[in-house]
Amino acid sequence: MNYSGIKNKVAIVTGAGEGIGYAIAELLLKAGADVVLNDVDETRGCRAAETLTKGRPGNCLAFSGDAGDISTINAMVDFTLENFGKVDFIIPNAGITFFGDFLSFTPESFQKVLQLNLHGAFFLVQRAAKEMIKSGKGGRVVLMSSQVGIQAYRNLTAYGMTKAALQLMARNLAYELGRYGITINAIAPGATLTERTKKEQPDYEGVWGKLIPRGVVGKPEDIARTCLFLLSEEAAHINGQTIPVDGGWTTAGIYPEDLS
């Protein structure tokens, strides 16, 4: 994929020690961007950055910490500026999923979901946007929503609320930040086979392969390719939009329990 406007840019990707974030960082590096890779697990993040740097034109540096914490966010942007001198792309990919019945969902769980999924994305974009405006060169932001931010899913009310909110965040900030040359869009991944989803559900690939119209679950690379496009010059006039990458699941919304 030879998208223009990626080479020599600087990106921050949170939650990128594995899964979708890792795949996004990998494609950015292959395209010649430099990446600050964040993960809450220091060992996992450092290992990912070391692996990704080998044989690729871009440089990858690890920055560990909770992407929902404001002090981590500010330190991470400072780290990026100190090492690369600028920040062009922001991908707040880090997120947390808590399954739970609405009637018994606790305030503690609710707060944890909001803290990372919304607070983290909001304030990372806010801080980075200030730097982009200061540079006078604009930038790109890609938020990570979800199919359950579009369509209801049992026991995911709190999570789904945060993912729907990110779509409205993209729309609002497209309006607010567009005059500074900053575009902001969201991706809504569907069922995607990652290290996390393999643990969450037995035979994840088999079950969801039957539920998705295309007949297969997504791969992290499917999301990463869409992200790379939205960061590129080819997508310069796309702003404030949400792109589902779900193999068509939200067209019908068949659930695992419908198989029995």
Report the C-alpha gap between 158 and 111 in whole angstroms.
9
CA torsion, points 253, 116, 131, 12, in degrees to nearest 10? -70
Cα angle for residues 55, 60, 63 (degrees, 5° grid) = 150
* Best CA proximity match to 1, nearest among 191, 198, 233: 233
Name the residue with tokens 């803290």: 115
163 is catalytic: yes
Q: Which of 64, 146, 163, 232 is catalytic?
A: 163
Q: Which of 9, 22, 64, 159 is catalytic?
A: 159
Q: Looking at the chain, how many residues does it have?
A: 260
12 by DSSP, 3-state: which?
strand
Kindly give, in sequence order, each residue whose CB lies less than 8 Å from that of residue 189, ignoring residues fewer than 6 positions away: 20, 144, 145, 146, 147, 218, 222, 223, 245, 246
Q: Which of 9, 22, 64, 145 is catalytic?
A: 145
159 is catalytic: yes
* Best CA proximity match to 187, nearest among 140, 252, 139: 140
Cross-strand pairs, 188: 244
* Best CA proximity match to 62, nearest among 73, 77, 47: 47
Report the C-alpha gap between 229 and 236 in whole angstroms.
9
Residues designated as active site: 145, 159, 163
